Structure 1
Amino acid sequence: MHFPKLSQLQSRFAVSLGGTLVLILIYLSINRPSFAYAAELDSRIPPDHNHPFSPDSFENGGFDEEEDFASVEHLREITLDVADIQYDQHRGTQDLGAKEYEEGELYVSSNTRKVAGELRKRAPDGVNSLSNNAPQNMNIELGVTQNWMFSQDEIEGPHSENGVGFPSDASTTGNMSDDGPFRRELSNRQSGTPIWITINVCLQPMSNTSTNEMPPQIQLFYSASDDIQKPGATSDGMTGTRIDVEGGYGIIQSNATGDVYIGVTAPNTTNFQGMWNYEIAASNDAPYHFYSNETDLLFVDGDNHAALLVTPDLTDAISNSTTYQQWMETQAPYGMFAHDQKNTSILGVSRSYCGLRNNARIAANVPGITNNNVGTMTNRGLGGAPKEQFYISALNASSEYWGFLAMTGNSTATGAGVIGGGGRVWSNMTFSTKANDNCALMYNLSFCSEVAYAVPSNPDKFSPLDGLADLAAVYDSYAAQMYQYFNYSLQQIPCNTTASAQYSLARNCDDCARAYKQWLCAVTIPRCEDWGNNAPYLAQRNMAQNFPNGSTPSWVSNSGVDAQVLLNAVQSNSSRNSQIIDDKIQPGPYKEVLPCIDLCYDLVQSCPAALGFGCPQGKYQNMSYGVRDPDPGILSCSYLGAAFYLSDGVRDLGVPSMDKMWVSLIITIVFLFC
């Protein structure tokens, strides 16, 4: 078959027409999600379903029109005074959800003034009913199966509330998703209604043999067939589909076209005594309970009784934006749990919010748990973006802990009737405490505000209970005084001048002041490590002195140099700043994480040559500075804003934005057709 030969003008028109049609299709796909939208629920963030109740959503109400039409129409004419029906909305939702409605029973909605005649399907005998986002708490004994039903009336019923969500603007998606309409469209295109059934184990049986033996997990079963209304494990085998429960958390996600039946089976074991307690919930919005495989919690540093941890950046908004300010002014939204790794029984509930709340030994910023541990907003660290920090104390020395980031509810609302109201938990991370008491954790200084790590200390002079503020003042005031001397010198430099008269076209005096402050705080406030830590990048300090408690250190060289040589060397037998550390604080022997050499390089590059800054070379550099290790888990040198595994945690906790993906796609299409 021969095609007609196009002229040059016709060819150009054809290409332009093709490109225009492609761009129109892209525009329609962006503005009409029903064109082609594949949605996958983010395990951390619930969608928004703040849709008002509509009687039309019940479609015939579940009754036979011919038989009951007259009686129902009569009932619809009866008007109730809303003032006579007063109850808390969330509690009312939970109470209504717990009822079993007989045929002909009245159903009164808190969103309407009419009595709507509803014929609700009763759950089979021995089966409990679940309502939308209305959790139920139950005890279950060894070897017992309990059954639940999420009825089609509830599945196709009204949606629950979500809350206002986190701050967001055009520059960031924040942490709350508004994809309710998208999920509606997805539901309309697929067979059935999306549902989520989740379970959290809150309490476990105790071992008969070992305190650290982990109990077996309860079993979760699922059936969408009326032929299997009581799924679960029996002596004859299993009925229904089994869903794995790990760490006390299980989830069923499906598209339902009718009633859904659930079974909860407790293992029959002789190694444990007592019972399980669990919370189960069903939702047509999003999972009521959440678990994420991400850790999203970073260990900054600690001493022998406390630790400091932070979340990754919570937004990428610029510092002068409204979103940035809202984040900094908001109440800290996250909490955390911590637990000594010597007690492994908590692993049985490590993915359950109520399980951690009931079993974790340590918590911070968790409602209902009162202690000295706190969670606050901060913008300290690389990038200066808002994040949340946790200071937890009452830890054991020389111990390793699991840390769990958590959230009560969905950050702005909690409990029955709320999407995601059951709380959420992130995967555990590991952190440890120091052995010696002459390193003290310090943060939130006035001048060196980016300092957040353990520094050389003396518990006899600066008590860990009430003396750390005085210790911080010693370091901070000294650094501020040294900076003032530098500032006098910087004022002699012609900073506000023409470009041709400036000392550099790439850097200015503001860059110089910033670099000097970073360098000054890092070198005058050394990062302290235990004397017994034999990492090769650590420098030994004050090795000829005794510890504050009078004990003598062991002289072990970790650099291949004879101990006597180190004893005679100034750098190993004194501190970096003897006037402040050795004379006033007197910490005794400790090891220092040397400042990173790039801090010195940045200082030299940012400041005018007239100030005379320079970095040491050869062995003198090795004695004064360290080099960053490519492994993000190793802090081989000290820099402000440092945190363990920082490169693994720079992602935003919010929902990834699709805007940049669309822009990239459009640009690619344009280049292809133009």
Structure 2
Amino acid sequence: MQFPKLTPLQSRFAATFAATVLLLVLYYALFTNSGGFAYALEVREIAPPAIVHDYPLLIEGRKPEEIVGRGTSGLTTLGNNQGKLSNINIGETQNWVFPKETVNGPKSSPPKGLPANITAPSSSTATSVVGDHELKKRANTVYISLNTCIKPSLNSTSPASSSASLPPLTVYISTSDNNQRPGPGKNADEQTEYTADQGYMGATIQASGDVYIGVSASNTSAFSGIYNYELGTSVDASYHSYEDSTNLYFVDSDIHSALLITDNVTQSDPGTPNYQEWMDIEPPFTIFANNINNSGIYGLERSYCALNQWSQIRKGNNAINTSMTSRGLGNEPKEQFYFTYLNSSSTYYGILGMDGNSTSSGNGVIGGGGKIWRAMNFTTKADDNCALLYNLDFCSQVAYAVPSNPDLDSTALAQIYDSNAQSYYQNFKNSLSLIPCNTSSISMYSLAVGCADCEAAYKQWLCAVTIPRCYDFSSDYSFLQPRNVGQAFFNGTKLPANHSLLQSPVTNASRNPLIDEKIKPGPYKEILPCQDLCNDLVRTCPAALGFSCPTGKLLNDSYGYRASNGDITCSYLGAAYYLNGGYRVDVNMSMGMFLAGFGLWLASALF
């Protein structure tokens, strides 16, 4: 049979087609035999070490991954937006691969996520494994992250051994086919080394082929047991993340509870859809708290999976109550955390976290491994006559410890303070109603402010002075004012009869007689209201109401000064420690306050 003569173009096409068919046949033969070419050698499953059963390794019902084919056999494959758990012995290295099919594959659809303006971009470490000159035009961004979930234990309980540092896990990353098992002692030109910091490691690389990963646990004789870690890979965003800012602020505490808030989550104006979305949302953050003397999370403060297992206070505890609030700086939406079962006179780490991306978590979710912010710390009070109050009905901006009595529950205490302030406010409203507020510009008492401004300023001042901010009597901060020293302490003791504090009416009783008569807190110290509260009231209210401010010693006995660094050295509503260190106030006018006219009787009680 004679074949037709082909043109040069047809000849080239025929040769290409034949080669393609041959390659397909070869590919089919290799990858359908014995489970695939990568597993042509004998596959041996390595059982977890015998010590594994001594550790609670389940994380939300997940078991550690079995490391398949260590040594000369196949590598364990990682998927997109997946975290895989594994146990690793001290001195061991484990190897993984993020295959090029996934590296070059489609990205996942972005999740619904949160409303706008949640936080600043993540500051996770981002370093490329290869230089820019090696990047190919088709290279893709790959995110690799690790959380250490469980750490080995110290071999000794002696005080001398407590200073021993736990060696962190080390991660080695290679994009070279010549180094498919990166780890200690391998060619540094073909791998990049990363060290987990407080249980977290994050890296961003550029790759177009397979990405090889080694996780290594250094040798140490000071510790024994295993590590457990979660390794995450993604082409969308880091599976685990860490933000090097606290985003968590201490409001106040008593001996058994504390109140903390996040920074504002949006700058939207009240009444806008975005503002309301945040106020109506299921609280997106979680919190972890741990006594600083408890070593359970030492070295793992940036690992979500570790904190979620080992923190004394964590998501799911009955101790935590979370909600959204607009109280405080800017009156913008923020999340607040109230938690109990704390020890008195104790310092705790407070760590803000987010479960996955807040709307979903776990494998298959972009950012499903969780996010952690930098740890902060706070301290509970020592004396049990200061009680933490917040979310009052009338004085809704009050959120701090107030003079209390252990025999009063928080509901009764809140009612005493709140109803007392509300009754004073009604008297003020009656007097303000005599002022022509809604009148022509010629008749108005001010073109800059109006009666609504006066009402707001009066309420701020009123709640701050009728509901004092309480502090431990044992504290010696210079800005604190001793109060009610004429009463006995709860243990029955009293100050000596000749004590200097008993000679002054300022320190011998509380600012408000109601406190000594109905609450009977015993001696305590007060963080005085800020002077600018009075200044603002005098500035915004009509002169006819007779508001004025004291001077000299009476000023210093009644009001305090704001600290420039954001510390709370005087009381103002919505305050949180170091949240608004940049706050500036006008101090040109004299501060403090007296009420004239209808309010003189009130002044005698509150100053």
Pairwise same-fold verdict (TM > 0.5) = yes
Q: 2:153 aligns with which of 194, 206, 231?
A: 206
Q: How far, CA to CA, are the matches of 2:188 and 2:276 in structure 1?
A: 58
Q: How far, CA to CA, are the matches of 1:484 and 1:227 in structure 2?
A: 81
Supply the AA of the counterpart residue of 2:510. S
**Closer/same/farther in 2, CA of residues 66 and 483 from structure 1, 3 Å limit:** same
* 1:371 corresponding residue in structure 2: 318
Q: 2:479 aligns with which of 526, 529, 537?
A: 537
Is the CA contact 1:408–1:424 (under 8 Å) kept in the aligned structure 2? yes
Q: How far, CA to CA, are the matches of 2:278 and 2:272 in structure 1?
A: 10
- TM-score of the aligned structures, taking structure 1 as reference length: 0.73
Q: 1:158 Cα shift?
A: 2.0
**Closer/same/farther in 2, CA of residues 65 and 469 from structure 1, 3 Å limit:** farther
Q: 1:338 Cα shift?
A: 0.7
Equivalent positions of 1:99-498 (< 5 A) are 102=36, 125-168=73-116, 173-174=117-118, 192-210=139-157, 212-213=162-163, 214-233=165-184, 240-363=191-314, 366=315, 369-459=316-406, 461-462=407-408, 467-498=409-440
Is the CA contact 1:191–1:255 (under 8 Å) kept in the aligned structure 2? no
Q: How far, CA to CA, are the matches of 2:187 and 2:205 in structure 1?
A: 27
Q: 1:372 Cα shift?
A: 2.9
Q: 1:140 Cα shift?
A: 0.6
Q: 1:564 aligns with which of 499, 503, 508?
A: 499
Q: 1:513 Cα shift?
A: 0.4
Q: 1:102 Cα shift?
A: 2.2
* 2:594 corresponding residue in structure 1: none
Q: 2:548 aligns with which of 590, 614, 627?
A: 614
Supply the AA of the counterpart residue of 2:22. E
Is the CA contact 1:300–1:644 (under 8 Å) kept in the aligned structure 2? yes
* 1:593 corresponding residue in structure 2: 527
Q: How far, CA to CA, are the matches of 2:218 and 2:237 in structure 1?
A: 28
Q: 1:257 Cα shift?
A: 2.5
Supply the AA of the counterpart residue of 2:508. N
Is the CA contact 2:175–2:190 (under 8 Å) kept in the aligned structure 1? no
Q: 1:418 Cα shift?
A: 1.0
Q: How far, CA to CA, are the matches of 1:145 and 1:607 in structure 2?
A: 72
Q: Residue deviations 1:410-449, cap 9 Å, x none? A: 1112111111010000000111100000000000000000
- Secondary structure at the aligned position of 1:362 is classed as coil
Report 1 or 2 for greater relative contact order, CA contacts < 8 Å, sequence distance ≥ 6: 1
Q: How far, CA to CA, are the matches of 1:350 and 1:104 in structure 2?
A: 38
Q: 1:152 Cα shift?
A: 0.8
Q: How far, CA to CA, are the matches of 1:266 and 1:649 in structure 2?
A: 44
Q: Residue deviations 1:297-338, cap 9 Å, x none? A: 000000111110000110011101011111100000000101
Is the CA contact 1:126–1:147 (under 8 Å) kept in the aligned structure 2? no
Is the CA contact 1:161–1:417 (under 8 Å) kept in the aligned structure 2? no
Is the CA contact 2:255–2:384 (under 8 Å) kept in the aligned structure 1? yes
Q: 1:487 Cα shift?
A: 0.5
Q: Residue deviations 1:156-204, cap 9 Å, x none? A: 1122243211123xxxx45599xxxxxxxx9x99561110111100011
- Secondary structure at the aligned position of 2:529 is classed as coil
Is the CA contact 1:306–1:395 (under 8 Å) kept in the aligned structure 2? yes
Q: Residue deviations 1:227-258, cap 9 Å, x none? A: 11111126999983211210011122110121
Q: How far, CA to CA, are the matches of 1:190 and 1:316 in structure 2?
A: 40
Q: Residue deviations 1:60-104, cap 9 Å, x none? A: xxxx9433548999xxxxxxxxxxxxxxxxxxxxxxxxxx97259
Supply the AA of the counterpart residue of 1:154. T
- TM-score of the aligned structures, taking structure 2 as reference length: 0.80
Supply the AA of the counterpart residue of 1:548. F
**Closer/same/farther in 2, CA of residues 500 and 192 from structure 1, 3 Å limit:** same
Q: How far, CA to CA, are the matches of 2:502 and 2:243 in structure 1?
A: 51
- Secondary structure at the aligned position of 2:402 is classed as strand
Q: How far, CA to CA, are the matches of 1:410 and 1:190 in structure 2?
A: 31
Supply the AA of the counterpart residue of 1:625. Y
- Secondary structure at the aligned position of 2:227 is classed as strand
Tell me if 1:515 matches 2:474.
no
Is the CA contact 1:232–1:239 (under 8 Å) kept in the aligned structure 2? no
Q: How far, CA to CA, are the matches of 1:235 and 1:132 in structure 2?
A: 27
**Closer/same/farther in 2, CA of residues 417 and 502 from structure 1, 3 Å limit:** same
Q: How far, CA to CA, are the matches of 1:356 and 1:161 in structure 2?
A: 29
Q: How far, CA to CA, are the matches of 1:645 and 1:257 in structure 2?
A: 46
Q: 1:627 aligns with which of 525, 541, 561?
A: 561
Is the CA contact 2:564–2:581 (under 8 Å) kept in the aligned structure 1? no
* 2:62 corresponding residue in structure 1: none
The aligned length equals: 515
Is the CA contact 2:329–2:580 (under 8 Å) kept in the aligned structure 1? no
* Poorly superposed stretches of 4+, deviation over 4 Å: 68-73, 173-177, 188-191, 211-214, 234-239
Is the CA contact 1:232–1:238 (under 8 Å) kept in the aligned structure 2? no
516-525 or 212-221, larger mean C-alpha shift = 212-221
Is the CA contact 1:149–1:259 (under 8 Å) kept in the aligned structure 2? yes
**Closer/same/farther in 2, CA of residues 235 and 410 from structure 1, 3 Å limit:** closer
- Secondary structure at the aligned position of 1:349 is classed as coil
* 2:571 corresponding residue in structure 1: 638
Q: How far, CA to CA, are the matches of 1:487 and 1:541 in structure 2?
A: 30
Q: Structure 2: 5+ residue runs without aligned partners? A: 1-18, 29-33, 40-68, 122-131, 584-607
- Secondary structure at the aligned position of 1:473 is classed as helix
Supply the AA of the counterpart residue of 2:278. W
Equivalent positions of 1:9-88 (< 5 A) are 65-67=20-22, 69=24
Q: How far, CA to CA, are the matches of 2:507 and 2:241 in structure 1?
A: 51
- Secondary structure at the aligned position of 2:547 is classed as coil
Q: How far, CA to CA, are the matches of 2:461 and 2:326 in structure 1?
A: 19
Supply the AA of the counterpart residue of 1:638. S
* 1:574 corresponding residue in structure 2: 509
Is the CA contact 2:175–2:209 (under 8 Å) kept in the aligned structure 1? yes
**Closer/same/farther in 2, CA of residues 225 and 648 from structure 1, 3 Å limit:** farther
* 2:8 corresponding residue in structure 1: none
**Closer/same/farther in 2, CA of residues 498 and 222 from structure 1, 3 Å limit:** same
Q: How far, CA to CA, are the matches of 1:616 and 1:312 in structure 2?
A: 35
- Secondary structure at the aligned position of 2:548 is classed as coil
**Closer/same/farther in 2, CA of residues 431 and 65 from structure 1, 3 Å limit:** farther
Q: How far, CA to CA, are the matches of 1:577 and 1:389 in structure 2?
A: 29
**Closer/same/farther in 2, CA of residues 389 and 261 from structure 1, 3 Å limit:** same
- Secondary structure at the aligned position of 1:410 is classed as coil
Q: 1:596 Cα shift?
A: 0.5
- Secondary structure at the aligned position of 1:647 is classed as coil
